[in-house]
Structure 1
Amino acid sequence: MNPVPKRLVLLLAAAFPCYAIADAELTLDSVVVTGSRVEHSSFDLPAAVDVVDAGKIGADQARVNVSEALAGVPGINVQNRQNYAQDLQISSRGFGARSAFGVRGIRLVADGIPASMPDGQGQAATFNLDRAERIEVMRGPLSAIYGNHAGGVIQLFTPDGKGAPSIETSFSAGSYGTWKADVSAQGEVGGIGYVLDTSRFATDGYREHSSAEREQSLVKLTFRPSQDGKLTFIASSFHQTADDPQGVQWGEYKSNPKGTAWDATRGYSPALAFDTRKSIDHAQGGLNYEHRFGEHTLQLSVYAGQRSTIQYQSIPVGAQSNPAHSGGVIDFDRTFGGMSARWIGRFDVAGGRLTTTVGTDYEQSTDDRRGYNNYIGTGAPANCVANVCGVKGTLRRKEEDRVASFDQYVQAEWQGENWTFSGGVRHSHLAFKVSDSYLSNGDDSGSVSYDKTTPTLAALYRLSDTVNLYASAARGFEAPTFNEMFYSSGGGSLNLGLKPSNSTHFETGLKAMLGNSRLDLALFQVKTDNELVVLSSTGGRTAYQNAGPTTRQGLELAVDSRWTGNLSSRLAYTWLDARYDEAFTFQSGTPAVTKNVSAGNRLPGVAAQTLYGELAWKHAASGFHAAIEGIARSKVYVEDTNSDTAAPAYAIANLRAGIERTFGPLKVSTFARLNNIFDRQYVGSVIVGDSSQRYYEAAPGRNWLAGVSARYAF
């Protein structure tokens, strides 16, 4: 690892709280529902689970990227690509690190509505952070109870509208022409609780060709038709347009980290010549109904949505003219929906409390998918069609892609005086079908289905009132996503030979209250068969294959403290050793070159060590607060052979401060934030296995953000 600044070392040392004793009320044991699906003390749950509350989500931030909110969660790696066209890069214990865009390997849920599609591909950008009450993050074996692609689970919850009406508005602005405005209202009228929110965000971007605009809205209504029943309606919309700066090669990153790649053979920048960009229109809505029958509960939900996406890629014109290629423009309209039902029963059994859950989930999505050539004229940006780069051209693909999942599960937990035992089993059926209507390059229609049963088992022992020990185990699986199935090695046909990755998870942990500190420690091992890796990546087209087994093992540590004098701290550390157990080969580049991956190589996109520290102080009388944050990460390999230059280790520090004042019914808050105060140049994220070796995406140097908000309660 590169030398860490001495000031950052002192910060992280100060954040480690050993035995911190404070007069402040202990508020370190959050209530969670992720894992058990019922309200549960996080301290008594036999799983690695963290809660990020509203205060941390909006900790002097614009509330645009979940990467800022989850920076202090061990085991979770959330990298801001500085590229809104490709969304954040999120991985959990290495699951999802390979995803070139969006989120795979992790189950995303917002207010009970999946933000992950049935095939496992999800979008964290649709999370509305402005009204979020909390985000629950779970890693490890208990995640498997959520089915396909549950290497981890991230759930966002919005509060119910309650009490007297209030309105709030906020505005923030900062470096690189970034600004955001938000207006919201909440309250309860005539027995109906409501939460309304709308926002607009824009940025010129840190890198060249990385500007973005986003509009987001949310409506949540709650109503109690009876004393025991509760009905919730939630709807949201998301619109975004974003340029795509793409990754750059190592030499380009070193000489011009803010720039785009340059193709010396063709004499142009691919991102500029093809005007690479992406636009998204996403809307969804759902109903949740909960009814209590004494000690028992029935929960029902139904949701539906629509998503339209058009993306311009920089695939060379020659490759686009290949009959097997589907062009350089992706254009699809997606409809999706689902329903779920679960029964939760609570019983007194054998001197303890037994909670049982029986449920079923059905999800489906249908894409009307089209592909077109992306024209750039004779090659250089100045010679684009009608002097405009990135023009939708000839139709090259037309098909309907359908995927549906139908799952059933049973969970049970018995909680006694000293012991808690829990277990569950889930059966998943997943079906893919492609109906090809563009037949001039052959019929690529096909279908495939998968069936998997994933059990979980866990136990927790209360060593004392302040110390819990636990152990858990599970089987999990990751089916290939549609994006991974679209191409086979020999042509453009659907790759029906891919198998799901099967994993076996083991975890043991310690949870302890030390004075006014809480310590969470987890040790884990994950054995995976049929890991999905690249088979070939040439001409802008990537095909995947199943490799042999892999092993992930590591440690996660989190320590939270409340000190005297309104001082608090957090330390989060992750050590992850993720390696291939068997050798394999793949092809990359144009012309294609065969590359060998040795047994023992590290999985790319995964840092072996990450460290987060925060020290915060608040002056109660004045409402002033301030904090310093430190983040350090070891190097990250960028491709499977581990031979190309790894993204180097880095360490950065951030400062933030603000003040909150109340004037009767009016509350005014202001803040200022300075990120990367030592102005370090570092690689913020990597594009794993890029065939053109454009792996690297630079993070910003020193940058600032400031904002103000006002809330009025009637």
Structure 2
Amino acid sequence: MHRLRRCVWLPTLFLPLAAQAENATYQADPLVVTGSRYQASGWQLPFSVNRIDTEQATLGKPGVNLSEALGSVPGLVVQNRQNYAQDLQISSRGFGARSAFGIRGIKLLADGVPLSNPDGQGQAATFDLDTLERIEVLRGPFASVYGSNSGGVIQLFSRDGEGAPKVALDTSQAAYGTSRTRVSAEGGNDRAGFIINRSHFETDGYRDHSGAILDKTFAKLTLYPDDASKLSLSFSELDQNDTQDPQGLTWSQVQSDRRAAAPSALQFDTRKTVDHRQFALNYERSFTAGTWQSTVYSGTRRVIQYQSIPVAAQTPASQSGGVIDFERRFHGIGNRWIQSFDLGSSLLTVTTGLDYDYSRDDRQGYENFVGSTLGVKGNLRRDERNEVTSLSPYLQAAWQLGKLDLQAGLRHSEVKFKVDDRFIQGNNLDDSGSVTYRKLTPTLGASYALLSNLNVYASWGKGLETPTLNELSYSGPDNSFGFDLKPATSEQIEVGLKARLAQAASLQLALFQIDTDDELVVESASGGRSRFQNAAQTRRRGVELALESRLSDTLRANLAYTQIAATYSKDFTSNGRLIEDGNHLPGIPARTLYGELAWQPVEGFSTAVEGLYRSKLYVEDSNTAKAAPSHALFNWQARFEQKAGALTFNQVLRIDNLLDREYIGSVIVGDGNGRYYEPGPERAWYVGAGVQYQFD
């Protein structure tokens, strides 16, 4: 606890400042729904939650990756892999840091619809940042109110079409053969609104064999049948064909040629195709007694991925080949009732709901060779149906008692995996079966207003993290399904303060501790496959600081700092090696610092500079392999806007990695071949221009 004790004195620094600002006039606190389920000021909630509005998230930025918008949130580590075949890596206070691809251990939602499979594995690429209204990020104990695999919550909200109809066209060019074009139309009135957006993105990639083409479509229709109800219908689509995968590099390969692809990536032409389509309906109606909210969604996802599994490694009958081919059908529904009770001197708000999510994969695996020809679909080696079902009833209560706010939640998570193996030949035995994980996760929190501009709070909760389908697939005997894997369970404690230091300035400080039992770790890795085990206890302790300030009418500043000590608290064995108590968890930097200074001296022109520092990253459990070195990056952007009647023109100029530093953008934790490192790009330029026409 000595590291946290050093931080205990920090609140005393802000007490005098808070007292001086007691009589200041403040802008209204932004409202959030994440964590509490109902609209509330983030100021009064007893947990860490940040809201990022569209201006901060998108202006002067390419609009391609969610990583562009999340740098100002403490506790998050967003690694842009420059690899569109594998998506971003995002961790929240260490949850999700071990993910080899996509997002894992964090609940990712868009307009209330999960972008994560019920097993906790998800992708951020399906969301369209062009239509963003705001992002809400929740860390800490209350993330568990969103069920299993919720070490943190990132919730994205698209805007509703409103105002006079308008159409827009944007285009951009950037380094490494990168281009993007977008067309959109939107508008609305008090009865209905619409928004339609289509974008096309191409890149040759910074590294060899990292080209990608992404086409996205988003459409949304919002209806207001009466003054008490709202109905939204949305459709989203992602087409991503033959996206190249350069894979990770060894440290010696990085030193030799940081822009190279792994030799095996070229040998097997590693690539990935994704076709994703999704429909969603959101309905909300207010009654005299309370509010009813319902979300229904359904979609399909087709993935074909060519891996670099060596030919020799595919000899065992239980090996499922080097080509993944699956078609997923998924759907779900979420219903909740929110009701407030006026108790005279206090207000009690109760939320009760039920979330149901289901996915079914028709999955095949093929050899990635035919004779001596590599990187092609060969013989069938896997044929099965995988079903994952999640059912979670929950109850939350918020009690406002003057200066004191109390929050409590209780959720029962039930996640069921079912496998129907249809490829049973010779020594390849039947892997059919099922396993169900159940857990009751409570949360408690309290917030107290010491002053009108200073709140202190504390919260506690328990969480559940089930294995993902991929982690279960090869973790049994002879690469069979690992039905014996247990879920990881965690207990979190958070204390903090929220202060207004001056007009239009706010600060959040949080100290946290997370203890996890049965942490999922790698037991062995060979032949391109990793087997997982429940073998570790971990502890994560840290401090987060977020400062937002409007220094003047033209100058705005943001600062985010995170310090975390993430270590194993019990010995275990991995790949035949002893991993000792006290070793650092890989993929989690001990310190992260982000700063942004934005200046808008006149209407129609703004400029900003942002900086990011990240300390070194351990890449595997023994901490003996070369750690990815620490680095600091600076980015600069300027935006111009002109109006001429109904037309609005804009131009953007941006330079990333302004000082041309060499750095490792992300790491692949525990890679069995030692290819841990994914280098980030050198200095890169970006220019964009757009025009918008608004009808009368």
Which bracket does the TM-score occupy, shorter chain normalised? over 0.9
1:565 positional shift: 4.7
- Residue 59 of structure 1: how far off its partner (Å): 2.6
Aligned to 2:502: 515
Task: Report matched runs for 1:498-513 at 5 Å.
Answer: 498-513=485-500
Once residues 354 and 190 of structure 1 are traced to their aligned partners in structure 2, the CA distance between those partners, rounded to angstroms, is 31
RMSD value, Cα: 1.5
How far, CA to CA, are the matches of 1:643 and 1:144 in structure 2? 34
Q: Superposition pairs for residues 611-630 of structure 1, below 5 Å?
A: 611-621=593-603, 623-630=604-611
Equivalence map 1:113-152=2 (5 Å): 113-152=113-152
User: Once structures 1 and 2 are overlaid, which stretch shifts more, 401-410 or 163-172?
Assistant: 163-172
SS in 2 for 1:164: strand
- Which among 463, 467, 471 is matched to residue 476 of structure 1? 463
Whether 2:334 is the aligned partner of 1:340: answer yes
Following superposition, the deviation at residue 169 of structure 1 comes to 1.4
How many angstroms does 1:490 deviate by? 3.4
Preserved contact between residue 490 and residue 516 of structure 2 (Cα < 8 Å) = yes
SS in 1 for 2:103: coil
What is the Cα deviation at residue 227 of structure 1? 2.2
User: Is 1:428–2:422 an aligned residue pair?
Assistant: no
TM-score w.r.t. length of structure 1: 0.92
Q: Label 1:86 to 1:403 Cα distance change in 2 as closer, same or farther (>3 A).
A: same
CA distance in 2, matches of 1:67, 1:497: 36
Matching of residue 596 in structure 1 with residue 578 in structure 2: yes
1:590 alignment counterpart:
none
Map Cα deviations across residues 19-51 of structure 1 (whole Å, 9 max, x no partner): 999xx9955721111001111111111111111
Cα distance in 2, alignment partners of residues 250 and 163 from structure 1:
54
Aligned to 2:531, what secondary structure does the other structure show? Answer: strand
| Higher mean C-alpha deviation, range 149-158 or range 290-299 | 290-299
- Secondary structure of the corresponding residue to residue 165 of structure 1: strand
Question: 2:244 touches 2:272 (CA, 8 Å); kept in 1?
Answer: yes
Task: Quote the residue 2:388 is aligned against.
Answer: 403
2:274 matched residue in structure 1: 280
- Tell whether 2:213 aligns with 1:213: yes
Greater Cα shift, 522-531 or 295-304 = 295-304
Which deviates the most, 486-495 or 567-576?
486-495
For 1:631 and 1:548, how far apart are their aligned partners in 2? 32
In the TM superposition, 1:61-100 aligns within 5 A as 61-100=61-100
Give the unaligned 5+ runs of structure 2: 1-16
Q: TM-score, normalised by structure 2?
A: 0.95
Are 2:319 and 1:325 equivalent residues in the alignment? yes
Distance 1:444 1:489, change over 3 A: closer
| Amino acid aligned to 2:617 | V
Distance in 1 of aligned mates of 2:229 and 2:415: 33
Q: Quick check: 1:63–1:129 contact (8 Å CA) kept in 2?
A: yes
The answer to whether the aligner puts 1:38 opposite 2:31 as a matched pair is no
C-alpha offsets along residues 338-377 of structure 1, whole Å, 9 cap, x if unaligned?
Answer: 1111100011125111111000011100000000000175
Report whether the alignment pairs 1:673 with 2:654: yes
Deviation of the 1:301 alpha carbon: 1.8
Contact 1:26–1:562 (Cα < 8 Å) also in 2? no
Partner of 2:563: 575
Structure 1 runs (4+) greater than 6 angstroms displaced? 18-21
Q: Does 1:368 align with 2:355?
A: no
What is the rounded CA distance, in whole Å, between the counterparts of 1:161 and 1:712 in structure 2?
A: 15
- Tell me which moved more, 487-496 or 503-512: 487-496
Kindly provide the CA deviation profile for residues 479-533 of structure 1, in whole angstroms up to 9, marking residues without a partner as x.
Answer: 0010000013531210011000000010011100011311110100000000000
Quote how far apart the aligned CAs of 1:704 are.
0.7
Aligned amino acid, residue 519 of structure 1: L
Distance 2:666 2:46 in 1: 32
For residues 114-141 of structure 1, what are the alpha-carbon distances to aligned partners after superposition, in whole Å with 9 as ceiling and x for unaligned? 1011111111111110110011111001
Deviation at 1:259, TM superposition (A): 0.4
What SS does the aligned partner of 1:640 have?
coil
Q: How many residues align?
A: 672
How far does residue 564 in structure 1 lie from its aligned partner after superposition? 2.1
Deviation at 1:226, TM superposition (A): 2.4
Is 1:414 the equivalent of 2:415? Answer: no
Task: Judge conservation of contact 2:190–2:224 (CA < 8 Å) in 1.
Answer: no
**2:58·2:68 contact (CA, 8 Å) conserved in 1?**
no
Q: Aligned partners of 2:190, 2:55: CA distance in 1, in Å?
A: 29
Structure of greater relative contact order (alpha carbons < 8 Å, 6+ residues apart): 1
- Distance (whole Å) between structure 2 residues aligned to residue 28 and residue 390 of structure 1: 57
Identity %: 51
Question: Given residue 624 of structure 1, which amino acid in structure 2 is its aligned partner?
Answer: F
For the 8 Å contact 1:444–1:492, the answer to whether it is kept is no
1:305 alignment counterpart: 299
Distance 1:62 1:82, change over 3 A: same
Matches within 5 A, 1:516-555: 516=503, 517-555=505-543
Unaligned runs of 5+ in 1: 1-17, 262-268, 379-384, 588-593
CA contact (8 A) 2:476 2:483 kept: no
Q: Deviations over 1:266-299 (max 9, x none)?
A: xxx2101100000100001111111100251011
**SS at 1:126 equivalent:** coil
Change (3 A) 1:565 1:219: closer
- Aligned-partner Cα distance in 2 for 1:286–1:230: 14
Q: Helix, strand or coil for the counterpart of 2:693?
A: strand
Map 1:264-279 → 2, pairs under 5 A: 269-279=263-273
Secondary structure of 1:549's partner? strand
Give the distance between the partners of 2:565 and 2:586, measured in 1 at CA: 11
Q: Distance in 2 between matches of 1:195 and 1:684?
A: 35
8 Å Cα contact 2:200-2:213 kept in structure 1: yes
**What corresponds to 2:8 in structure 1?**
none
Displacement of 1:321: 2.3
Q: In the alignment, what sits opposite 1:454?
A: 441
Q: Structure 1 residue 102 and structure 2 residue 102: aligned?
A: yes
Structure 2 residue identity aligned to 1:235: F
Whether the aligned pair in 1 keeps the contact of 2:521 and 2:536 (CA below 8 Å) is no
Shift of 1:320: 1.5
- From the superposition, tell whether residues 565 and 293 of structure 1 become closer, same or farther in structure 2 (CA, over 3 Å): closer
Residues 67 and 28 of structure 1: CA distance in aligned 2, closer, same or farther (over 3 Å): farther
Distance 1:353 1:248, change over 3 A: same
**Could you tell me whether the CA contact under 8 Å between 1:177 and 1:205 is conserved in 2?**
yes
Partners of 1:543 and 1:400 lie apart in 2 by 21
